[in-house]
A = this chain, B = another copy of it.
Amino acid sequence: MNGKAKIIDGKALSVELREKIRLQCTEFEKKNARKVGLAVILAGEDEASAVYVKNKIKACEESNIKSFAYYLPKTVSQNQIIELIDALNNDENVDGILVQLPLPKHLDEKLTLGNVTYKKDVDGFHCMNAGNLFLENECLAACTPSGIIELIKSTGEEIYGKNAVVIGRSNIVGKPVAMLLLQENATVTICHSKTADLKSITKTADILVVAIGKKEFVTGDMVKSGAIVIDVGMNRFEGKLYGDCNFEQIQLIASYITPVPGGVGPMTITSLMKNTLKAALEAHSGRA
Protein backbone atom coordinates (compact mmCIF):
# COMPACT_ATOMS: atom_id res chain seq x y z
CA MET A 1 0.00 0.00 0.00
CA ASN A 2 1.52 3.28 -1.04
CA GLY A 3 0.22 6.76 -0.48
CA LYS A 4 -2.23 7.89 2.11
CA ALA A 5 -5.36 6.27 3.44
CA LYS A 6 -8.67 7.81 2.51
CA ILE A 7 -10.31 9.64 5.36
CA ILE A 8 -13.81 8.48 6.25
CA ASP A 9 -15.62 11.75 6.78
CA GLY A 10 -18.12 11.12 9.57
CA LYS A 11 -19.30 14.69 9.45
CA ALA A 12 -20.20 14.60 5.76
CA LEU A 13 -21.85 11.19 6.10
CA SER A 14 -23.84 12.52 9.05
CA VAL A 15 -25.10 15.49 7.04
CA GLU A 16 -26.27 13.11 4.33
CA LEU A 17 -27.96 10.69 6.73
CA ARG A 18 -29.56 13.41 8.86
CA GLU A 19 -31.13 14.85 5.73
CA LYS A 20 -32.77 11.46 5.09
CA ILE A 21 -33.89 11.27 8.72
CA ARG A 22 -35.28 14.80 8.49
CA LEU A 23 -37.44 13.84 5.52
CA GLN A 24 -38.83 10.83 7.38
CA CYS A 25 -39.44 12.88 10.53
CA THR A 26 -41.35 15.44 8.46
CA GLU A 27 -43.41 12.66 6.95
CA PHE A 28 -44.08 11.36 10.48
CA GLU A 29 -45.21 14.83 11.54
CA LYS A 30 -47.66 15.06 8.63
CA LYS A 31 -49.16 11.68 9.37
CA ASN A 32 -49.38 11.97 13.13
CA ALA A 33 -49.91 15.67 13.74
CA ARG A 34 -46.96 15.86 16.10
CA LYS A 35 -43.21 15.90 15.81
CA VAL A 36 -40.93 13.01 16.73
CA GLY A 37 -39.75 13.87 20.26
CA LEU A 38 -36.53 13.36 22.21
CA ALA A 39 -36.17 14.17 25.90
CA VAL A 40 -32.63 15.01 26.98
CA ILE A 41 -31.77 15.01 30.66
CA LEU A 42 -28.63 16.72 31.91
CA ALA A 43 -27.94 16.61 35.64
CA GLY A 44 -25.21 18.85 36.98
CA GLU A 45 -22.81 21.24 35.31
CA ASP A 46 -20.13 19.11 33.67
CA GLU A 47 -18.78 21.23 30.82
CA ALA A 48 -18.12 18.44 28.34
CA SER A 49 -21.60 17.02 29.01
CA ALA A 50 -23.14 20.42 28.37
CA VAL A 51 -21.40 20.53 24.98
CA TYR A 52 -22.61 17.02 24.08
CA VAL A 53 -26.17 17.90 25.06
CA LYS A 54 -26.00 21.09 23.01
CA ASN A 55 -24.82 19.08 19.97
CA LYS A 56 -27.63 16.58 20.39
CA ILE A 57 -30.25 19.33 20.62
CA LYS A 58 -28.77 20.94 17.51
CA ALA A 59 -28.94 17.57 15.71
CA CYS A 60 -32.62 17.33 16.71
CA GLU A 61 -33.27 20.73 15.11
CA GLU A 62 -31.54 19.62 11.91
CA SER A 63 -33.58 16.42 11.86
CA ASN A 64 -36.95 18.04 12.61
CA ILE A 65 -37.11 16.26 15.96
CA LYS A 66 -38.60 18.18 18.87
CA SER A 67 -36.25 18.17 21.82
CA PHE A 68 -37.38 18.45 25.43
CA ALA A 69 -34.38 19.51 27.50
CA TYR A 70 -34.31 18.98 31.26
CA TYR A 71 -31.44 20.70 33.04
CA LEU A 72 -31.39 19.40 36.58
CA PRO A 73 -29.28 20.83 39.39
CA LYS A 74 -26.33 18.67 40.46
CA THR A 75 -28.14 18.21 43.79
CA VAL A 76 -31.13 16.44 42.16
CA SER A 77 -32.17 13.41 44.21
CA GLN A 78 -32.39 9.84 42.95
CA ASN A 79 -36.15 9.92 43.44
CA GLN A 80 -36.57 13.16 41.53
CA ILE A 81 -34.70 11.94 38.46
CA ILE A 82 -36.60 8.64 38.49
CA GLU A 83 -39.91 10.50 38.80
CA LEU A 84 -38.98 12.60 35.79
CA ILE A 85 -38.06 9.50 33.79
CA ASP A 86 -41.34 7.85 34.77
CA ALA A 87 -43.28 10.86 33.56
CA LEU A 88 -41.37 10.85 30.27
CA ASN A 89 -41.92 7.09 29.87
CA ASN A 90 -45.65 7.87 29.90
CA ASP A 91 -45.53 11.02 27.79
CA GLU A 92 -46.89 10.29 24.32
CA ASN A 93 -45.01 13.23 22.81
CA VAL A 94 -41.69 11.77 23.91
CA ASP A 95 -40.34 8.92 21.75
CA GLY A 96 -36.83 8.78 23.12
CA ILE A 97 -35.24 9.52 26.49
CA LEU A 98 -31.58 10.29 26.77
CA VAL A 99 -29.85 10.61 30.12
CA GLN A 100 -26.50 12.32 29.58
CA LEU A 101 -23.66 10.57 31.35
CA PRO A 102 -21.79 10.81 33.63
CA LEU A 103 -24.36 11.49 36.35
CA PRO A 104 -23.40 13.34 39.54
CA LYS A 105 -21.70 10.88 41.86
CA HIS A 106 -24.53 10.48 44.36
CA LEU A 107 -26.83 9.09 41.66
CA ASP A 108 -26.83 5.39 40.73
CA GLU A 109 -26.23 5.15 36.98
CA LYS A 110 -27.54 1.61 36.57
CA LEU A 111 -30.67 2.31 38.61
CA THR A 112 -31.35 5.57 36.80
CA LEU A 113 -30.89 4.19 33.28
CA GLY A 114 -32.79 1.04 34.26
CA ASN A 115 -35.90 3.17 34.72
CA VAL A 116 -36.00 4.28 31.08
CA THR A 117 -38.48 2.00 29.30
CA TYR A 118 -36.67 -0.04 26.67
CA LYS A 119 -39.09 1.30 24.08
CA LYS A 120 -37.69 4.82 24.56
CA ASP A 121 -34.11 3.73 25.29
CA VAL A 122 -32.63 5.44 22.23
CA ASP A 123 -29.11 4.96 23.59
CA GLY A 124 -29.61 1.21 23.34
CA PHE A 125 -28.32 0.64 26.89
CA HIS A 126 -31.33 -1.30 28.25
CA CYS A 127 -30.99 -5.01 28.86
CA MET A 128 -33.86 -5.74 26.45
CA ASN A 129 -32.14 -3.81 23.68
CA ALA A 130 -28.75 -5.38 24.41
CA GLY A 131 -30.40 -8.81 24.50
CA ASN A 132 -32.22 -8.30 21.24
CA LEU A 133 -29.07 -6.98 19.59
CA PHE A 134 -27.27 -10.10 20.78
CA LEU A 135 -30.07 -12.37 19.54
CA GLU A 136 -30.26 -10.48 16.23
CA ASN A 137 -33.83 -9.34 16.80
CA GLU A 138 -35.22 -5.89 16.06
CA CYS A 139 -34.04 -3.40 18.68
CA LEU A 140 -32.76 0.06 19.41
CA ALA A 141 -29.06 -0.67 18.89
CA ALA A 142 -26.33 1.16 20.78
CA CYS A 143 -25.54 4.37 18.88
CA THR A 144 -21.76 4.34 18.53
CA PRO A 145 -21.68 0.74 17.21
CA SER A 146 -24.42 1.44 14.65
CA GLY A 147 -22.57 4.53 13.52
CA ILE A 148 -19.37 2.53 13.11
CA ILE A 149 -21.08 0.03 10.82
CA GLU A 150 -22.40 2.90 8.68
CA LEU A 151 -18.90 4.40 8.51
CA ILE A 152 -17.42 1.11 7.34
CA LYS A 153 -20.18 0.57 4.79
CA SER A 154 -19.67 4.08 3.43
CA THR A 155 -16.27 2.98 2.11
CA GLY A 156 -18.01 0.56 -0.26
CA GLU A 157 -15.77 -2.26 1.01
CA GLU A 158 -17.36 -5.60 1.97
CA ILE A 159 -17.52 -6.60 5.65
CA TYR A 160 -18.62 -10.14 4.71
CA GLY A 161 -15.85 -12.71 5.34
CA LYS A 162 -13.34 -10.12 6.55
CA ASN A 163 -11.31 -10.36 9.74
CA ALA A 164 -12.51 -7.70 12.13
CA VAL A 165 -10.65 -6.95 15.35
CA VAL A 166 -12.20 -4.86 18.10
CA ILE A 167 -9.97 -3.47 20.84
CA GLY A 168 -12.09 -2.75 23.89
CA ARG A 169 -14.98 -4.69 25.41
CA SER A 170 -17.31 -2.11 26.93
CA ASN A 171 -21.05 -2.66 26.99
CA ILE A 172 -21.66 0.45 24.92
CA VAL A 173 -19.00 0.11 22.22
CA GLY A 174 -16.71 -2.92 22.13
CA LYS A 175 -19.14 -5.77 22.68
CA PRO A 176 -22.09 -4.44 20.67
CA VAL A 177 -19.90 -3.46 17.71
CA ALA A 178 -18.46 -6.98 17.77
CA MET A 179 -22.00 -8.37 17.57
CA LEU A 180 -22.91 -6.06 14.68
CA LEU A 181 -19.75 -6.99 12.76
CA LEU A 182 -20.62 -10.64 13.31
CA GLN A 183 -24.11 -10.03 11.92
CA GLU A 184 -22.41 -8.60 8.85
CA ASN A 185 -20.56 -11.92 8.53
CA ALA A 186 -17.12 -10.77 9.62
CA THR A 187 -14.92 -13.09 11.64
CA VAL A 188 -14.63 -11.13 14.88
CA THR A 189 -11.92 -10.99 17.53
CA ILE A 190 -12.41 -9.04 20.75
CA CYS A 191 -9.19 -7.83 22.40
CA HIS A 192 -8.71 -5.95 25.65
CA SER A 193 -6.24 -5.08 28.38
CA LYS A 194 -5.61 -8.76 29.19
CA THR A 195 -4.83 -9.72 25.58
CA ALA A 196 -1.41 -11.28 25.12
CA ASP A 197 0.56 -10.07 22.07
CA LEU A 198 -2.03 -7.57 20.84
CA LYS A 199 0.04 -6.60 17.81
CA SER A 200 0.04 -10.13 16.39
CA ILE A 201 -3.77 -9.97 16.40
CA THR A 202 -4.27 -6.42 15.14
CA LYS A 203 -1.91 -7.20 12.24
CA THR A 204 -4.50 -9.71 10.97
CA ALA A 205 -7.35 -7.17 10.96
CA ASP A 206 -8.91 -6.13 7.68
CA ILE A 207 -11.18 -3.99 9.84
CA LEU A 208 -9.81 -2.58 13.09
CA VAL A 209 -12.08 -0.84 15.60
CA VAL A 210 -10.28 0.83 18.47
CA ALA A 211 -12.24 1.81 21.58
CA ILE A 212 -9.97 1.82 24.59
CA GLY A 213 -9.65 5.47 25.59
CA LYS A 214 -5.85 5.68 25.42
CA LYS A 215 -4.33 8.53 23.44
CA GLU A 216 -2.63 7.29 20.25
CA PHE A 217 -2.31 3.78 21.64
CA VAL A 218 -2.43 2.02 18.27
CA THR A 219 0.65 2.76 16.20
CA GLY A 220 1.39 2.17 12.53
CA ASP A 221 3.33 -1.05 13.10
CA MET A 222 0.21 -2.63 14.62
CA VAL A 223 -1.91 -2.15 11.49
CA LYS A 224 -2.25 -4.43 8.48
CA SER A 225 -1.56 -2.84 5.12
CA GLY A 226 -4.82 -1.77 3.52
CA ALA A 227 -6.94 -2.09 6.66
CA ILE A 228 -10.00 -0.03 7.48
CA VAL A 229 -9.35 1.65 10.84
CA ILE A 230 -12.13 3.09 12.98
CA ASP A 231 -10.95 5.25 15.87
CA VAL A 232 -13.54 5.60 18.65
CA GLY A 233 -11.18 7.40 21.04
CA MET A 234 -11.90 10.87 22.42
CA ASN A 235 -8.94 11.72 24.61
CA ARG A 236 -8.51 15.30 25.73
CA PHE A 237 -4.88 16.30 26.28
CA GLU A 238 -3.63 19.85 26.79
CA GLY A 239 -6.81 21.27 25.30
CA LYS A 240 -6.67 19.14 22.17
CA LEU A 241 -8.69 16.08 21.20
CA TYR A 242 -6.82 12.86 20.34
CA GLY A 243 -8.01 9.49 19.14
CA ASP A 244 -6.86 6.06 20.27
CA CYS A 245 -4.83 5.77 17.05
CA ASN A 246 -1.69 7.47 15.84
CA PHE A 247 -3.34 9.02 12.83
CA GLU A 248 -0.16 10.22 11.08
CA GLN A 249 1.44 6.77 11.16
CA ILE A 250 -1.64 4.75 10.35
CA GLN A 251 -2.64 7.00 7.48
CA LEU A 252 0.43 5.69 5.61
CA ILE A 253 -0.57 2.05 6.06
CA ALA A 254 -4.38 1.75 6.15
CA SER A 255 -6.69 2.14 3.19
CA TYR A 256 -9.31 4.02 5.22
CA ILE A 257 -9.23 5.78 8.56
CA THR A 258 -11.64 7.88 10.60
CA PRO A 259 -10.34 11.20 11.95
CA VAL A 260 -10.78 12.43 15.53
CA PRO A 261 -12.76 14.63 15.73
CA GLY A 262 -15.10 14.27 12.76
CA GLY A 263 -15.29 10.50 12.45
CA VAL A 264 -17.23 8.38 14.91
CA GLY A 265 -18.50 11.28 17.05
CA PRO A 266 -20.97 12.83 14.59
CA MET A 267 -22.21 9.37 13.56
CA THR A 268 -23.05 8.51 17.18
CA ILE A 269 -25.39 11.50 17.31
CA THR A 270 -26.83 10.57 13.92
CA SER A 271 -27.60 7.07 15.23
CA LEU A 272 -29.35 8.71 18.16
CA MET A 273 -31.60 10.60 15.75
CA LYS A 274 -32.22 7.42 13.79
CA ASN A 275 -33.16 5.52 16.96
CA THR A 276 -35.52 8.29 18.05
CA LEU A 277 -37.30 8.13 14.69
CA LYS A 278 -37.41 4.35 14.93
CA ALA A 279 -38.92 4.48 18.43
CA ALA A 280 -41.52 6.96 17.18
CA LEU A 281 -42.50 4.78 14.25
CA GLU A 282 -42.67 1.75 16.53
CA ALA A 283 -44.80 3.56 19.12
CA HIS A 284 -47.13 4.73 16.40
CA SER A 285 -47.45 1.31 14.80
CA GLY A 286 -48.38 -0.02 18.26
CA ARG A 287 -51.14 2.58 18.65
CA ALA A 288 -52.60 2.17 15.17
Contact = CB atoms under 8 A, between A and B. Distances in A.
A14 to B, nearest CB: 28
Contacts of A191: 187
A131 interface: yes
Given A128-B128, A131-B129, A132-B131, A190 B192 contact: no
Nearest to A189: B189
A195 B185 CA distance: 8
Interface stretch (A66-74, A93-101, A134-142, A249-257): A134-142
A127 B132 contact: yes
Interface in A111-139: 126-137
A129 B134 CA distance: 11
Contact of A182 (B130, B169, B187): B169
Nearest to A127: B131
Q: Please classify how large the interface on chain A is, using the bins under 10, 10 to 19, 20 to 34, 35 or more.
A: 20 to 34
Contact of A196 (B132, B161, B201): B161
Interface in A211-235: none
A124 to B, nearest CB: 11
A275 B161 CA distance: 36
A160 B194 CA distance: 7
A212 B73 CA distance: 54
A128 B161 CA distance: 30
Contact of A127 (B128, B175, B189, B201): B128
A146 interface: no
A134 B136 contact: no
Given A127-B128, A128-B128, A187-B201, A134 B175 contact: yes
A163 interface: yes
Interface string A170-210: 01000100110010010111111011100001000000000
A195 B181 CA distance: 12
A206 to B, nearest CB: 9
Contacts of A192: 182, 185, 187
Interface of A: 126-137, 160-163, 169, 171, 175, 178-179, 182, 185, 187-192, 194-196, 201
13 contacts: A126-B131, A127-B128, A127-B135, A128-B131, A129-B131, A130-B135, A134-B179, A175-B179, A182-B190, A187-B190, A187-B201, A188-B190, A189-B190
Given A134-B171, A187-B190, 12 more contacts: A127-B135, A127-B137, A130-B135, A131-B131, A134-B175, A161-B195, A185-B192, A185-B194, A187-B189, A187-B194, A187-B196, A187-B201
